[in-house]
Chains A and B, each alone.
Chain A
Amino acid sequence: MSAWKYKRLTPKVIVSRLRLIDHRDIVKLCNKKLEDASSMLMKTPYRPEIVGISSQQLDSASFEKALVKNFIRTCNEVIKCSPSDVRSLLLAILMKFEVSNVKTMLRAKEAGASVDQAMGFVTSAGKLDDAACRKILEDSNSVEELVDALADFEYGAALKEALSEYEESETIRALEVALDRFVYGRVWKATARLKGLDGKIARAVLGVEIDSTNVKIVLRCKTMRVSENQTRSYLVASSDAFAENDWEDAIRAADVKSTLGVLLGAARCAFARDQLYMLTDILREYESSRSLSQLEMVLDRSLLGISLRMLKRYTAFFNIGAVLAFLNLKWFEVRNLRAIVHGIESRIPPDRITKMLILP
């Protein structure tokens, strides 16, 4: 732990965390109308993004874009204040949004959507800002040409490798999976570069995130009766807690409950406390509700819980735990606001919206 290393980042994170919306105010928003929610959000750090939405186009899609833009801006501000090793990790995390733009462009090309149509779904992130995306979309007429246009980017090689599979299967699933594997692999590699307590915390938090992603993939494939080989190909990078054999056993397990049982056993053997908590929670939830969507909510909640637990386990300052916890809190705030705005727009009862929120 080095206070000097975090001399700029810790104050930035503390101030940014103080500017997060109180969860009681978030719950109160569920009872508001869209216009009232908008004016309430104007008094928050989301103002610069929301002010650009005209009253005519006040809908959940515009809000979503504004909220995600705000999250990316906040990430960039945090990245600017970060020391180099933390910065590379945060850039890797932010790459998820860049890759999401790549996926949007691939989908647009596959579906034959127009450039303007596709640009409606793009949110500037990383190296792919609006202008770059527009240029790439205009210059390429097919998915193959798009992959060629992205060759100079970090994920260009991964896309190129998956191109043959795309040509065989004629679906962009292979390209999407290649991008996901690349991003999560990169995030995991970035955690390895961090030393000491930072490395430990980053591996714990992001390891749980990667594991929860893999758990979701396995469970979803299991309920959809996707073949074992296919399921294996969808898995993203593996964390320290589970070896490849554990995932193999989980994929081969007969049903959801036994899959969770296999992983629970593996987490117990690896002394992976956080994964153990997470899996125990979701097993309990699955036994009571038998619903995978509920289980997904529990996974998301435990992800946030683990980030916050790191702050209690170590200190809340001068380590990467505070940054990761803040980013997770911010992301879940964005998700909650997105859910609320869309819920209000679709006239969902406030109590039902509240149930969908992921609060600390």
Chain B
Amino acid sequence: MSVDLAVIHPTRLELLRLKRRRALAQGIADILKKDYDALVMALFEFVRKIPSLRRQMREALVEAYSSFVESQMIAGPRKIDEVSWVCKPVDREVKVDVRKGVLGILLPTMEIVEENASAADPRFDLLETPMKLDEVVQDVGTALHHIVRLAEVQASMKEILEVMSLKRRQINRIEYKVLPQLDASIRYVGLILEETERQDAIRVRVLQRKRKERLQKTMEIPV
């Protein structure tokens, strides 16, 4: 770790300035650490949600799949395949937005935009398909809702992790670069100032000695 000492003026004022900068850097590092801790807590909150969301999603998918198999069992797999040829696909859009989260970080929000319920029209043949098939559509909708919710949490976690890595880099920069540099500069200025003080003291002593010698000489000369 090199410090460009040539540009530092070894003065008391500079020493004071360097000490002030060190205190400021230490303060910033402390704040960043507190932010980092807050982010870790927020991340853990999301992490805690993940297993239950995954379980809900898995359960919803299993439910949807078993309902689908049941509807195939009732109407026959061939009939369900055949009906699927002409049934209109459901258009579901995922609306992505942002909200302010911990430390004002913008976290993504995702929401499934439901199709217009007022213009409902049966998607399947009412006589050849069982009512279970309508339940399958609802179950798939529920599963999709859970999938989107999980994606939202994972995207939020990714966002938080990015901010955390940024904060970690900032803390590391301060702790392992800025503070040691400032410490080195302070030590350097301190040493220079000490050296200057020592030189001044020697100079004073030499001058005092010379003054004494001059005084003795003037005393020895007879009038």
Q: Footprint of B on A, CB under 8 Å?
A: 60-61, 64-65, 68, 100, 103-104, 107-108, 110-111, 113, 120-121, 171-173, 176, 180, 213, 216-217, 219-221, 223-227, 230, 234, 236, 291-293, 295-296, 335, 338-339, 342-343, 346, 348, 352-353, 356
Contact = CB atoms under 8 A, between A and B. Distances in A.
B19 interface: no
A55 B72 CA distance: 22
- Top-10 shortest CB links A-B: A111-B85, A339-B73, A293-B132, A292-B131, A225-B120, A346-B69, A121-B82, A64-B76, A296-B131, A107-B86
Contacts of B131: 216, 219-220, 292-293, 295-296
Contacts of A65: 78
A295 B81 CA distance: 24
A325 to B, nearest CB: 22
Given A107-B82, A216-B131, A342 B122 contact: no
A60 B128 CA distance: 18
Nearest to A223: B134
Contacts of A121: 78-79, 81-82
Could you say which interface size class chain B belongs to? 20 to 34
A339 B72 CA distance: 8
B105 interface: no
Candidate in B70, B81, B127 with the most chain A CB atoms within 10 angstroms? B127
Contacts of A113: 85
A230 B118 CA distance: 13
Contacts of A173: 121-122, 125
B77 A61 contact: yes
B85 A217 contact: no
Contacts of B120: 224-227
Interface string B61-76: 0000011011011101
Given A226-B121, A293-B135, A103 B128 contact: yes
Given A107-B85, A292-B135, 16 more contacts: A64-B76, A107-B82, A108-B85, A110-B86, A111-B85, A113-B85, A171-B86, A172-B86, A173-B122, A213-B127, A225-B117, A225-B120, A293-B130, A293-B135, A296-B130, A353-B73
Contact of B69 (A108, A217, A225, A342): A342
Contacts of A111: 85-86
Contacts of A295: 131
Contact of B73 (A176, A230, A342): A342
